[in-house]
Amino acid sequence: MSARIVCLGEAMVELSPRQGRWDVHYGGDTLNVALHLTRLGFDVAYLTALGSDPFAGHMRQAWGREGMDVSLVLTDPERTTGLYSIATDEHGERQFSYWRGESAARRLFTASGIERALEAAAEADLLFFSLISLAILPGEAREAVLALARKVRSRGGMVAFDSNYRPRLWESVEAARTWRDRAIAVVSIGLPSLDDERNLAAGTETVAMVRDHWLTEGCEEVIAKMGAAGAVLPDGSAAEPEAQLLALDTSGAGDAFDAGYLAARLRGLSPDRAAAHGQRLAGWTVMRHGAIPERDHASPYAAMVVEAAEKEART
């Protein structure tokens, strides 16, 4: 039976310029992970709050068509859904503008139905959240996220965490660092990136320093991402990508890696094969526009599922 996964965070409307007009999509780090995991055949629910605006209904419908469970998507009728615009340069690097100050997700833990949603989320086989998930919430709600993570772990589930650091969402770098470390202490799989860790704290200039810090703080398995240079596996060895790509759009690359890695690990693949899955999915993503591209003939989801199934059949 497929593992039950709950991803927690903020989903936003994504506006991207295309030939003199704006294309409307949706994105958000934990949402991207949730949708990739759904496409990889898992039972995935997304825990968030949307506004009562027209965008919200379209987002729910689109996620439902993907096969994602939207029963934990709550509504705050007094707020709107967050929005961002994205532009990319000739190297595929991103530039964002955000309108999220009144985002419904910021009041997730006061939304109607949150008690029921948290009870359901606590039964997950895997809970996934990020530093952005914490950044948008007030202190009491951040505590509630960590409490949920501890409950999932106490029931035998796994908790994964990505330290996506966005300075403008935090009152100070010290606050972000504190909450990152508190999150590390309650998770089983850590997915830091070297760039974010360098921006968060001195003493993390190398990937070995990042791994050491996360392990010291209590994380059991650390896979450190280095962008186009690849990743460092839990045993300290390097996992280099198969090819260097001239990216069209790097938005969502780290999220795709997270999803590919977590899916493979849930299905029993080794960390090195899981990293290869993460890199393959990230490579497909950066060669297309948008944080969560539409599936096409080259999408690697089916092949990744087949490899995991063949491994399971051999064991």
- In whole angstroms, give the CA distance from residue 255 to residue 160: 12
Alpha helices in the chain (DSSP H): 29-39, 54-66, 114-121, 131-135, 139-154, 173-184, 194-200, 207-217, 253-266, 271-286, 301-314
Tokens 């796994």 sit at which residue?
Answer: 158
For 126-140, what is each residue's pLDDT tens digit?
999 999 999 999 999
In the annotation, is 255 catalytic? yes
Bridge partner residues of 7 (DSSP)? 46, 128
Phi-psi region of 126 (alpha: psi -120 to 50; beta: other; left: phi over 0): beta
For 201-223, what is each residue's pLDDT tens digit?
866 678 999 999 999 999 999 99
- pLDDT at position 136 is 96
Catalytic position from the list 255, 258, 272, 296: 255
- pLDDT at position 20 is 80
List the single range of 35-39, 77-81, 289-293 with lowest mean pLDDT.
Answer: 289-293
For 148-174, what is each residue's pLDDT tens digit?
999 999 999 999 999 999 999 999 999
**Pairing mode of beta strands 158-162, 126-130:** parallel
Q: Is the pTM of this model over 0.85?
A: yes
Contact assessment for residue 253 and residue 286, using Cβ atoms and an 8 Å cutoff: yes
Rounded mean pLDDT, 77-106: 83
C-beta atoms surrounding 182 within 10 Å: 17
pLDDT > 70 in the chain, percent:
95
pLDDT band at 116 (very low <50, low <70, confident <90, very high): very high
List the structure tokens of 216: 């010291």
Q: Which residues contact 178 (CB under 8 A, 6 or more apart)?
A: none
